[in-house]
């Protein structure tokens, strides 16, 4: 049996909009996604999710809504399964600094920034520039559903998936 590794993923929702981040480096580079990352040792999954949200877009979550777990297996690259705990947040403190607001000075040091946040209307979500699984699960997050999902990837293609709604 493959080992799984714990990650978090948060979708910030506000009215008819979701906040996504363009990944500037590391895993999933050049893709839009929610905010999240690895859970550190000694940290709860919720605390890890809250920490990553603050690190990556500056928002402080007041409360998290847990949708479920996304499981990702990749036939190509690894013997590890990603166990991604998926949350949404609509109660938070702070303002996300969007890419258009970033001034020239910030652009000069942009390489240190992991993700660039941007609000998208739910009708304009950039699915073609996201992980291919997102078109299956992100609409369920927007609808407030609870579910678990499994996606089998080869390279960056979804070969197979199952979604169980509760
Ligand atoms: P470090 O090492 O600190 O830079 P860290 O921020 O801890 O990394 P990162 O950014 O590699 O972790 O986390 C990966 C993020 O991508 C997590 O939020 C989970 C998410 N993720 C991984 N595979 C995914 C997939 N196939 N589809 C998807 N999100 C995925 O939508
Ligand atoms: Na991250
Ligand atoms: Na991290």
Tell me the CA–centroid distance for residue 7 and ligand 1, in Å: 7
The verdict on pTM exceeding 0.80 is yes
Q: Whose CA is nearest to atom 17 of ligand 1?
A: 37
**Spatial separation of the C-alpha atoms in residues 101 and 88, rounded to whole Å:** 24
> Looking at the predicted complex, does its ipTM rise above 0.85?
yes
Summarised one tens digit per residue, pLDDT across range 84-142 is 999 999 999 999 876 555 565 565 566 567 788 899 999 999 999 999 999 999 999 99
DSSP-derived pairing of the beta strands 32-33 and 17-23: antiparallel
**Spatial separation of the C-alpha atoms in residues 74 and 58, rounded to whole Å:** 31
> What residues does ligand 1 touch, defined as CB less than 6 Å away?
7-9, 26-28, 33, 36-38, 72, 82, 84, 131, 133-134
């Amino acid at each position: 049996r493959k080992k799984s590794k714990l990650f978090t993923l948060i979708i910030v929702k506000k009215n008819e909009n979701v906040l996504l981040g363009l990944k500037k480096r590391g895993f999933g580079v050049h893709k839009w996604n929610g905010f999240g990352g690895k859970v550190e040792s000694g940290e709860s999954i919720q605390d890890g999710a809250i920490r990553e949200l603050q690190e990556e877009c500056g928002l402080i979550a007041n409360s998290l809504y847990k949708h479920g777990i996304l499981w990702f297996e990749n036939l190509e690259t690894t013997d590890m399964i990603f166990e991604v705990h998926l949350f949404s947040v609509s109660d938070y403190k702070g303002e996300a600094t969007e890419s258009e607001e970033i001034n020239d000075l910030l652009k000069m040091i942009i390489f240190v920034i992991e993700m660039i946040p941007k609000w998208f209307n739910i009708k304009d979500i950039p699915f073609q520039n996201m992980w291919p699984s997102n078109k299956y699960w992100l609409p369920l997050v927007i609808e407030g559903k609870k579910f678990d999902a499994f996606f089998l990837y080869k390279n960056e293609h979804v070969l197979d998936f199952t979604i169980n709604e509760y």
